[in-house]
Amino acid sequence: METVSKNTLRHSVVFLSLLLLFGAAVVWNINTGSVAISVREILTLLFRKKEIESGALAADLPAFNIIWKIRLPRLLLAAVLGGALSLSGFLLQTFFRNPIAGPFVLGISSGSKMFLAVVTIALSASLPSVPVSVTVAAAFLGSMASMLFVLAFTGKIRDMSMLLVVGIMISYICSAVTDFLINFAKESEIVNLTHWSLGSFSAASWQDVRISALIVLPAFLCTFFLSKPISAYALGEGYAQSLGVNIRLFRVLLILFSSVLSACVTAFAGPISFVGIAVPHICRVWLKTAKPVLMIPACFFCGAVFCMICDLIARTVFSPTELSVGTVTSAIGAPIVIWLMAARGAKRNE
Amino acid sequence: MNDSFFSTDRLTVGYNGRPLVRDISFSLKKGEILTLIGPNGSGKSTILKSITRHLPTLSGSVWLDGKNVRRMGSRDLASRLAVVLTDRIRPELMTCRELVSAGRYPYTGSFGVLTDHDREVVAASLARVRASDIADRDFSAISDGQRQRVLLARAIAQEPELIVLDEPTSFLDIRHKIELLEILGSMAREQGITVILSLHEIDLAYKIADKIACVKDGRIRAYGTPEEIFTGGLIDELYDIDRGSFHPLLGTVELSRPEGKPRVFVVGGGGYGIPFYHALQKRKIPFSAGILFDNDLEYAVAAALAQDPVCAHAFSPIEEAQIARARAAIDQAQAVIDSGCPIRQYNRANGDLLTYAKKQGKPIFPKPEPKKEETP
């Protein structure tokens, strides 16, 4: 029984530190940038918005605009999409029973990119610029399409790790098609695509935040309600079924939510690698358990914090040059994954 | 049929609509143990998976406590039927206690939060399989024997009325096999849990089961009590044993008999000859043996390994004709083995055989050495 309370303490500490980190990341993100704004000023600008807008309170208007029009939507988008990415990674890892499964690995991102390339090139002939809504829709459809393609093989291939290989192959096929199209595209079209394909939270609008939150938050809640069957699924399909889990329905839901989550991310921010693999790993090691009822919220918040910090690094380290957030997540995420794998291997060999 | 708790009615099972085993009709009372035996690939697992609804049945029905299993709600079924599968599972970062807690799934609420009662059941299940000491260790860090016990504890925590186990003793050493079967046996007796399992160890099947079903060639070759099954050559036939043999009552396996003209005659009795039989079998030296009483444990081994062993009726004196046969066998042999069986009133004839062999100039092994008189 002593271990039980020790575990509870550990879990509380983890969630508390996640909360603190979240708060710190928000403040840090807001006050760092080419225009420095003090914490006190930020608080005034944040919590007395109405008074400033009505002119009742005198304030630094440029700073007000920077916070409300640029930094705040951007950091919120990073938080929402970061949470979605790592949650999607967690679900895919559960589904494929493989620690390296993730939206990036499985060709979901490449599918989006391919669709986006097709749409951009097709539309640029008739339209001066491709509207955002079309970009988002194309990316969304692309990721769903490649996920469905992977799923089409689930009936034929029982071995989950082979299915993972299918996903990786699909990712290569999509990349090949995209490269082929780019060869025949005009330069102006490529710029847009290349920028997108590196992944970025820049130019986030409140509308982006609203739409992605509307997709991500309900999906997050739904997956949280799936945590009981997910825990049974950890014992394998045979046991899960004998415990009363409707395996067919459960698998459909699992893949649906993970696809929707990652599709949403790719649509709004482009492909962002390693968050989906690294964050669930960090959470597992931190919590020292894989219980979904703890892992799901932990992954979501940890992913949010991770992406906010990565975005902060992306836009400040080489300022005024901005890195793509995908570069930062890979640079940080990949070593973390290697380190965690090695640590786990060492523990297993003990 | 009326007092049966679990039954299958002309069940046909198979994969992808292709029947593998047809016409399966079992009937078990509460607390009975049914063991499926049969060669690899005969369809034991398929039958078990069809009973547990992991596979669709092709025709016929499965009944549990008067209800058709196909039509039961999944939660209802989960609270009555638990399984131990052959799937090698590797859950991540899961302690044995957490794994056993998964057995409470049908009883917990939407988030699977355990109540105090659930915790008690989990602890009791762990204690039942004597795994309380490893409860908080990681499931992936324990031995195969412990793992199998923990998986059984998980099934027990489900508080089922029927437990189905697919080859639960594979990968276990003999001590753990016995332990596991003992637990199953006492669960059936004391808690009235009905148990269906498949086993490769036919000798253990005999000892644990109330009913045995032999699965072979797409049907139930035989179904009945162990006493009914373990007669004659049914087991040899079931497993197509044409080299070597299985002794149904002793549950022992003998390898193939060395064929050819007997080169050695073993004067045995009382179990003293058995090590010599095995030594000769290993070297593939054909041999004969005698004179053995037919109630002697040793006779079962000699019958499996020796050429024409000379046998006498138990509880009666050795007859002249048997002595004559033994002498003839010694004449044919190149050497004689004295197993060291003490010569007493009723086996005096064996002492005479040794004297006869010496007189015939046959080498006698091993060189006589005073043996302590004790019964094996």
Query: For residues A82 and A217, what is the distance between their CA atoms, to the nearest angstrom?
Result: 12
Quickly name the fold that domain A70-348 has.
ABC transporter involved in vitamin B12 uptake, BtuC (1.10.3470)
pLDDT confidence of residue B92: 81
Q: What is the Cα A301 distance to its own chain's centre?
A: 11
Average pLDDT on A290-302 reads 93
- Does residue A179 surpass a pLDDT of 90? no
A334 pLDDT band (50/70/90 cuts)? confident
**In B, which residues are within 8 Å of A227 by CB distance?**
111-112
The reply to whether domains B6-244 and B255-365 share a CATH topology is yes
pLDDT confidence of residue B267: 92
CATH (one of 3.40.960.10, 3.40.50.300, 3.40.50.620, 3.50.50.60) for B6-244 = 3.40.50.300
Higher confidence at residue A319 or residue B288?
B288
Q: Do B81 and A242 touch (CB under 8 A)?
A: yes
Q: Do B89 and A239 touch (CB under 8 A)?
A: yes
Q: Do B87 and A289 touch (CB under 8 A)?
A: no
Q: Do B81 and A228 touch (CB under 8 A)?
A: no
Instruction: Kindly state whether A245 is in contact with chain B, defined as any CB-CB distance less than 8 angstroms.
Output: yes
List the beta strands (DSSP E) in chain B.
Answer: 6-15, 18-24, 27-28, 33-37, 59-64, 67-68, 81-84, 162-165, 194-198, 211-216, 219-224, 245-247, 252-254, 264-267, 287-290, 292-293, 311-312, 335-338, 364-365
pLDDT confidence of residue A51: 80
- Does residue A297 surpass a pLDDT of 90? yes
**Residue B76: CA count within 13 A, CB half-sphere:** 9
How near does any CA of chain A get to the CA of B287, in Å? 52
Average pLDDT on A231-249 reads 90
Q: What is the DSSP letter of A207?
A: H
Instruction: Kindly state whether A222 is in contact with chain B, defined as any CB-CB distance less than 8 angstroms.
Output: no
pLDDT confidence of residue A1: 47
pLDDT confidence of residue B370: 54
Q: Extract the residue ranges of chain B whose pLDDT is less than 70.
A: 1-2, 232, 367-376
Query: For residues A136 and A147, what is the distance between their CA atoms, to the nearest angstrom?
Result: 17
ipTM for the complex shown: 0.81
**Angle (CA) A310 A315 A320, round 5°:** 160
pLDDT confidence of residue B13: 93
**In A, which residues are within 8 Å of B111 by CB distance?**
227-228, 293
The domain limits of chain B are 6-244, 255-365
pLDDT in tens, B135-163: 999 998 898 888 999 999 999 999 999 99
Q: Which two tokens stand for residue B372?
A: 């302590």
Q: What is the mean pLDDT of chain A?
A: 83
B positions 290-309 inside 8 Å of A (CB)? none
Of the residues A160, A242, A289, the best mutation for testing chain B's interface (the one with the most B CB atoms within 10 Å of its CB) is A242
The domain limits of chain A are 70-348
Q: Which residue of A has its CA nearest to B111?
A: A228
CATH (one of 3.40.50.2000, 3.40.50.300, 3.40.50.720, 2.20.25.190) for B255-365 = 3.40.50.720
pLDDT confidence of residue B374: 52
Query: For residues B330 and B322, what is the distance between their CA atoms, to the nearest angstrom?
Result: 12
pLDDT > 70: percent of chain A: 93
Q: Do A232 and B102 touch (CB under 8 A)?
A: yes
Buried b / exposed e over A226-247, threshold 16 CB at 10 Å, is bbbbbbbbbbbbbbbbbbbbeb
Q: Which residue of A has its CA nearest to B97?
A: A4
Lowest-pLDDT choice from A6-20, A140-154, B331-345: A140-154
Q: Which of A141, A83, A77 is nearest to A261 (CA)?
A: A83
How near does any CA of chain A get to the CA of B253, in Å? 34
pLDDT confidence of residue B150: 93
Asked if residues B31 and B189 have their Cβ atoms less than 8 Å apart, the reply is: yes
pLDDT in tens, A73-111: 999 999 999 999 999 999 988 888 877 788 777 788 888
Q: Do B112 and A293 touch (CB under 8 A)?
A: yes
**DSSP characters over B248-297:** TTTTEEE-PPPPSS--EEEE--TTTTHHHHHHHHHTT--EEEE-EETT-H
| CB proximity list for A298: less than 8 A, separation 6 or greater | A14, A15, A18, A283, A286, A287
How near does any CA of chain A get to the CA of B8, in Å? 19
pLDDT confidence of residue B1: 47
Q: Do A288 and B93 touch (CB under 8 A)?
A: yes
Cis upstream peptide for B366 (omega within 30°): yes
pLDDT confidence of residue A4: 64
pLDDT confidence of residue A294: 92
- Does residue A168 surpass a pLDDT of 70? yes
pLDDT > 90: percent of chain A: 24
**In B, which residues are within 8 Å of A236 by CB distance?**
85, 87, 89
